[in-house]
Structure 1
Amino acid sequence: METSPPRCKRRLPSPEGGPDDSAAAARAAGLDSLPEELLENIVARLPLRDAVRTSAVSGSWSRRWESTPDLRHYWPRRSRPAAICAVLARYSCDVRRFCTWGIRAEAFPHIDEWLPLLAAKGVQCLTLSFWDYTDVNVEYYTLHPAIFACAQLTSLHLERCFLPTAPEGFAGFPNLTTLNLVYVGLPENGEKKLEAMIRMSPSLVSLELNNVEVTDDDFDDWIIQAPNLERLTIISDIDYGWEIRELPSIQEANINSEDYSIDRDFVKLLTCLAQVRQLEFLIPVDSCDDWEPVSTDGNALEGISCSFQKLRNLILHTNFYKASTILSTFGLLTRAPNLKHLEIEITDHENQSDEVDITFFDAMWTNSLFANLDFVSIKSATCWSNEMCFIEFVLSKARVLHEFYIYHDDTGSYSEPREKAINELAKYKRASPKAMVFFRDMEDTWLYP
């Protein structure tokens, strides 16, 4: 005889005040018995959303997050702007870190509430990154002037917005160590206002000006002065007339402008950066087409005399299509006797108007050139004759070289076939018995150094 399986009895939910509630109350009481400092540390380590949710633990926890120091105000993309306002209004401690990315247009009315609240709460690290509106009909947001009332700032990162005009009596950011402006527009006469803001931030250690836009058609020369600055990045499509005064603490610099000012003094510029340990630099290219073969005209670094004794890592954006550009490139290389790491990215693919040979490079040889070089990479290589002569020259002179990476750009018809380049490379003598040459495609740059 078949028998039916016994039915499982459903467990009814505990009535209010039952065993489950008692257990929850016991757990909450156990938490409350911990030292206050430990409880604050627990809440401060939680993501902001979870920290706010601790309000549901018990009655004694309903407002704990509001008075927990060092709570990290990190807001992910698409966070509700009104929620940010509500949390900032309820939070009673100083805001150490506030960061939100991908701010959209619907949040604009609320940001005018954020910044006064953040200023009043002594915000120290502030990141405001707006959505990229380049493809839609939305203007960049102009920040509330309360940004200049954030006197306790130590780090400021702004992205895709406009700076307002600083109010009268603005005393600078005395504690600011890091300033990153990325696709930020400046107000009228903004270059001078930025100069003043940098000058009135005496603790500044790291400065990034990445595609900062001067909206005036006419702009004056302005000076970057920062006695404690160690890292400087200037990336821009347009040279807006900035100048560098003495930077006694500078260690790293990245100068990259696709359209340098016609009166830019590159010898003066690089002399101000002579003590850097790491340098990234776009070698200027003369736009004239009426070059004589192996002409020395147009060498932007002609006359440079300073020595880059501390330089260990060098990234150059350059090419080998004109003799003048090659001479400018070697103007740096021959003055960096302790260089260990060299990266070159080929720019402005165009016709090789000047053709040189290995004797042209041999004429620039010095005993200190490449003396300590152990790593080289060339990206976007076309493997035209001038590039190949440079590669041959380095391999024949670098006595302690370990690795040489060549990333071949085979996406266009202008590059030499890879088989031809590889066969040519096999013929080159190597001064270093440990030198290894790697021939890769450009798509492999993310896999290798």
Structure 2
Amino acid sequence: RLKGKGDKISGLPDVILQHIFAYIPTKYAIRTSLLSKRWRHVWCDTPSLSFNSSILNDAWINQTPTGYTAPRMLHFHLKSDKNHDVPHIDKWLELVMSRHVENMVLSFLLVKYSFPDFFYVDSSLKQLTLKYCDMSSKCSVSWTSLKNLSLTRCSVSDESMAKILSGCPVLESLTLNNCHELIYLDLSRSLRLRTVVVVERSSSVTGPKVIEAPHIHYLYLRYAQFPCTLVDVSSLTEADVNFCVSTNTNGKETSLQDKVMNMLVKLRHVEKLTFGTNLLQVLSFTELRGVPFPMFEVKSLKLKTRIFQYVILGLKRVLQNSCDLKKLTLHTNNCSIKRVKHRDNCLALQSFSPAQLCRRSKVAGHWDVESKHLAMFVELVLQNTETLDKMFLVLDDRYRKFRKIFENFLTTTKSPLPFQIRLVVNHRV
């Protein structure tokens, strides 16, 4: 407040104040009604509301629906972790859906909540994010405007998912995060679906095990242990594949490698591929077994890994089998490399020792990545690619010494590089 000038914020139009309210928890927006008569009803037309359990049972907040006058809602975010919130949840859902909400985020950690039937019929929802929800309702689904659906740790069976998909005719993006009950994800009838993200971090229960998605263009897969089986991804143009963590496969290393190779066969036509560290390790072990790799049609390959002995053989084979590769990006991870038991076990099963793998890859056997390994990586690329136009090295702060090594490499090489190399060293990577 400026002396003699009054309150400039109070002088702003309601629509601007309500836009500001959309970015703060609703409880703070409602408290502004105590400031003065000017503020008493400003929040009532705010198109976005956000609640959690800490205020959901307060008497004053549950009188809010009677005073809320916004004809349409853009966003509604509700987070609850208490079972006694259920009656209030029903009331709020009924309110926001009657106001034609477009974007809804609901999280029910520790709450045994089943959606009422009216929740499954709505023509306004465009984005829906559900966490820890039970989606096992037997009623039909009709979300005719829904374009983006995200489910995290939701109870949803194959049958329930089929009902959801049939009721979302314009769905464009589907995210499934730790939805363990899914077995067969059939997306063949979702004609407009273009993006699918599947993250499964449980090492004991995984799902879905099979994915059929003939119309999608982008696929992101993160599995903690065994990857899924891809049935039909014939329209795919970009895929990002890796395992969340290195896990002990309990003697099933060969089965894991076979599953990964079967997946790569389905991805051989994809033009943009991203492979992570653990996937490259599996490919190295597969190369040791002499298993033939598919020929890839990839034009842009991104590697999210640090360069060390357990990824070299797989990486080399991928490069050799990518005859149309134009762009290669190495994006190093910030995580440290740790010994994982099953890697050495896998080598033992194939009568290889870690030292033999190092000799096969011609990289010194250090667990900590050193800058000289990156120089070896560049040399590996030079020896195994013929069509490459550009290579990007996006490195974290630990690789600062590589710049000098790389400059020395360029001065000692006998012929000019056949492709452009861009080096970025960033401590934030």
Assess same fold via TM > 0.5. Answer: yes
Q: Who is 2:68 aligned against?
A: 91
Correspondence 1:152 to 2:116: no
Distance in structure 1 (CA, Å) of the matches to 2:377 and 2:292:
12
| Contact map agreement 1:115 1:144 (CA 8 A) in 2 | no
Confirm or deny that 1:397 pairs with 2:374. no
Instruction: Give 1:208's aligned residue.
Output: 175
Partner of 1:416: none
Deviation at 1:222, TM superposition (A): 4.3
C-alpha distance 54-332 of structure 1, shift in aligned 2 (>3 A): farther
Contact conserved, 1:144 with 1:164, CA < 8 A, in 2?
A: no
Whether the 8 Å CA contact 1:338–1:371 is kept in 2: the answer is yes
Is the partner of 1:213 in helix, strand or coil? coil
Aligned length: 365
Which 5+ residue runs of structure 1 have no aligned equivalent? 1-22, 134-138, 409-422, 439-444
Offset from partner CA, 1:291-339 (integer Å, 9 cap, x none): 89xx999843575584222x16554641436532779999588431233
Asked if the contact 2:215/2:236 (under 8 Å) is kept, the reply is no
Amino acid in the other structure paired with 1:86: Q
Matched, 1:320 2:281: yes
Amino acid at match of 2:304: E
Q: Shift in Å at residue 213 of structure 1? A: 3.2
The unaligned stretches of length 5 or more in structure 2 are 340-353, 364-372, 383-387, 399-404
In 2, distance between residues paired with 1:246 and 1:109?
42
How far apart are 1:209 and its partner, in Å? Answer: 0.7
> Which among 252, 256, 263 is matched to residue 222 of structure 2?
256
2:327 equivalent in structure 1: 372
Name the Cα RMSD after superposition.
5.0
Q: Is residue 228 from structure 1 mapped to residue 192 from structure 2 by the alignment?
A: yes
Distance 1:72 1:300, change over 3 A: same
Q: Which residue of 1 aligns with 2:262?
A: 300
The alpha carbon displacement at 1:159 in A equals 0.8
SS at match of 2:303: strand
Partner of 2:17: 42
Given that 1:300 and 1:328 are in contact with CA atoms closer than 8 Å, whether structure 2 keeps it comes out as no
Check conservation: 1:76, 1:100, Cα contact below 8 A. yes
Distance 1:39 1:291, change over 3 A: closer
Specify whether residues 144 and 317 from structure 1 end up closer, same or farther in structure 2 by C-alpha distance, changes over 3 A only: farther
1:317/1:54 CA distance change after superposition, 3 Å: same
Q: 1:88–1:382: structure 2 CA closer, same or farther, 3 Å change rule?
A: same
Could you tell me how far apart the structure 1 residues matched to 2:331 and 2:280 are?
15
The 3 A distance-change label for structure 1 pair 342 and 302 is closer
Given residue 100 of structure 2, which amino acid in structure 1 is its aligned partner? Answer: G
CA distance in 2, matches of 1:363, 1:231: 25
For normalisation by structure 2, the TM-score amounts to: 0.65
Normalized per residue, the structure richer in helix is 2
C-alpha spacing 1:433/1:275, structure 2 compared with 1 (3 Å):
closer
Distance 1:154 1:342 in 2: 34
Among 242, 245, 259, the alignment partner of 2:213 is 245
Q: How many angstroms apart in 1 are the aligned matches of 2:144 and 2:291?
A: 39
Q: 1:43 to 1:158 in 2, by over 3 A?
A: same
The 3 A distance-change label for structure 1 pair 53 and 331 is same
Report deviation, 1:208: 0.6
**Mapped partners of 2:54, 2:144: distance in 1:** 33
Residues 62, 361 of structure 1: alpha-carbon distance in 2 compared, 3 angstrom cutoff: closer
Cα deviation 1:87-113 (Å, max 9, x = unaligned): 234313233211133543442342122
Q: Which amino acid aligns with 1:206?
A: S
Cα pair 1:227 1:247 within 8 Å, conserved: yes
The percentage of aligned residue pairs carrying the same residue is: 13
Partner of 2:95: 117
Query: Are 1:221 and 1:241, in contact at CA under 8 Å, matched by a contact in 2?
Result: yes
| 8 A Cα contact 1:281 1:317, kept in partner | yes
Q: Which amino acid aligns with 1:88?
A: P
- Change in Cα spacing, 1:239 to 1:27, as seen in structure 2 (3 Å) is closer
Shift of 1:179: 0.7
In 2, Cα distance between the equivalents of 1:144 and 1:436?
55
Q: Please give the alpha-carbon distance, in whole angstroms, between the structure 1 residues aligned to 2:184 and 2:80.
A: 33
Contact residue 104 and residue 127 of structure 2 kept, 8 A: yes
